[in-house]
Amino acid sequence: MNNRGYTLVEGLLALAIAITSCTLLYSMSRGIVQLSQNLNPIRTRALTQMRRYYALGKHHDWQSNRWKFEYNNQHFEVVYHERRVLITPGWQVVMDQIDDFSFFGQDACLWVDWRDGTQRVQAVVGCE
């Protein structure tokens, strides 16, 4: 019998180690990219929540620092007040420590623009 080759178990073990290493490297690189872009998970969740309200809501009306809509037969309002973004009724704080915040319309879409510290973000909330 020739003892120069690898057994099936050794080959599978090497393959498992390689796949695990690739998975870990990919996860770490995604984390590094997110850190380099200074993404704030709380801001991302707030934007996702506003996008959900836009998609499921109706009768959208916005001004520079106020967005009104109807969702589930209830009237809601997203407002910028004292460095916080709030959703009424209930005055739920969606974002805080915001230096500047506004809504604007462009190309039949509702956009949001905010600045906290040195980071400025413009993102689409939803389109008709």
Q: Convert the pLDDT of each residue in 35-81 to its tens digit.
A: 445 557 777 888 888 888 888 888 888 887 889 999 888 999 999 98
* DSSP letter (8 states) at residue 57: -
How high is the pLDDT of residue 35? 43
Residues 6+ apart with CB under 8 A from 17: none
Average pLDDT over residues 10-17: 90
Lowest mean pLDDT among 3-17, 34-48, 81-95: 34-48
Mean pLDDT, the chain, rounded, equals 82
Average pLDDT over residues 6-24: 87
How high is the pLDDT of residue 38? 53
How high is the pLDDT of residue 30? 63
